[in-house]
Structure 1
Amino acid sequence: MSERGCLIVVSGLPGSGKTLAAKTLETERPGVRFCPDEWMTTLGASLWDGELRARVESLQWTTALQILRAGGTAIIEWGTWGRDERERLRAEAHAVGARTELLYLDVPVDVLWARIEERAMEDPPMKRTDLVEIDDFVQGQRPDEAEHQAFDVVL
C-alpha cells in the first residue's frame, strides 16, 4: 500500500462500462470499489430509490475517505455525471492528502441503450427517453480541460 491514498473516480452514464472498468482497476491496483447499485441490489432495494441511493453513497464516501487516509485506493463508480459532484469528491480526497484520478467513459446513446436492454438490470426498466434526458443534461457536464488539470491523472 502506498503512503498516499488514491481516489479513482469512474464516471459515465448507465451502460457506459463503469463497473467493468472499476473491477479491472480494483484488481490492477488493488483497491476498494464502491458501487451503489450492487449495495442496493444486495439490500433488495429499487435502483430508482433516490433517497436510499444518497444514503448508500454517503456511507460509501465516509468509508472511502477512511481508506484514503490510511493510504489505500478507493474507486468510486457512482456515475458522477455532474461536474460539481466530481469536483467535490476530488477536493475532499485532496484535502486528506490523496492523489486523484478520473476515468470518464463517454459512450454514444445508441450503444448505452443496447447495453442497458441486454443487461435488463433496472427495476423498473429504464426507458430510452430517460437515457436521452440524462445524456442531454450531461452534455454541458462532460470533463473539460480545466477539470482534467484539477485531477492528478486522467485515465
Structure 2
Amino acid sequence: MKSDVAFHLICGSTGAGKSTFAQALAHDLRGLHFAIDRWMVTLFWQDSPQPIEFDWTMTRIERCEAMIFETAKQAVWIGVPAILDLGFTKAAHRQKFAKLAVDAQIPVVLHVLDVPVEERWTRVEARNASKGETYAMEVDRAMFDFVETMWELPDPAEMAALNGRLVVP
C-alpha cells in the first residue's frame, strides 16, 4: 500500500481551514474528501428542529460517520486515500477513528491546523458572508464559541502515535 493511502484525519477548531486544506490534500493525493458538514446539511438539515438540538444533531453525526467510515475503508482498500474532514476537535474522537483504522489495518495520518481564535472567527465571518466553496451552513458566534469549548489540541504523544503533521496555513 502506498504511504499516502491512509485515513488522513483533518483536525482543527472552527475556521482553522480544515475544509480548504482537506480539499487541496484530496486533490494532491487523488483521494476522496469526506466532509461531515456536507453530509449533515444534505441528509438532515432541512429536517432539523429549530433551534438545533445537540442530541438530535449528535445522533445524526454518528450515523454519517458510520457510513463515512465504511465508504472510506473501501476507498483505502482499493488504493484511494481517504481525507476525513470530520472536525476531530476532541482527542477521544480522533482516537475512535484511529482505532477503527488500526482494526481495519489502515494507516493513519493526523493533520493539525492550529490557528489563533480571532483569526479563525474573522475567517468564519468572511465565509458566512461569501458563502463560497467551503460554506456548508451559517456559523454564528454562539456556535463558534460552543465548539471552542470542545477544542483539544493534540499533545506530542498523540502527534507521535497518529503520525501527526502540523499544518502551517
Name the CA shift for 1:4/1:20 in 2 (closer, same or farther; >3 Å): closer
- Are 2:98 and 1:98 aligned? no
Match of 1:54, as an amino acid?
E
- Are 2:71 and 1:63 aligned? yes
- Asked if the contact 1:4/1:71 (under 8 Å) is kept, the reply is no
Match of 2:85, as an amino acid?
E
| Alignment match, 1:152 | 163
Identity of aligned residues (%): 28
Name the CA shift for 1:39/1:136 in 2 (closer, same or farther; >3 Å): closer
Count of residue correspondences? 152
Question: What's the CA shift string for 1:80-135, capped at 9, x where partnerless?
Answer: 11101101111221222222111111122212211222222565x43323323322
- Asked if the contact 1:103/1:154 (under 8 Å) is kept, the reply is yes
Instruction: Give the 3-state SS of the residue equivalent to 2:154 in structure 1.
Output: coil
Moved over 4 A (4+): none
> What is the deviation of 1:153?
4.5
- Are 2:31 and 1:18 aligned? no
Taking only aligned residues, the RMSD between alpha carbons, in angstroms, comes to 2.4
- Asked if the contact 1:9/1:86 (under 8 Å) is kept, the reply is yes
- Are 2:93 and 1:85 aligned? yes
- Are 2:48 and 1:37 aligned? no
| Alignment match, 1:9 | 9
Supply the distance in 2 between the matched residues of 1:50 and 1:96 (Cα, whole angstroms). 24
Instruction: Give the 3-state SS of the residue equivalent to 2:112 in structure 1.
Output: strand
Instruction: Give the 3-state SS of the residue equivalent to 1:81 in structure 2.
Output: coil
> What is the deviation of 1:31?
0.8
Question: Which among 130, 137, 142 is matched to residue 150 of structure 2?
Answer: 137
| Alignment match, 1:126 | 139
Q: TM-score, normalised by structure 2?
A: 0.77
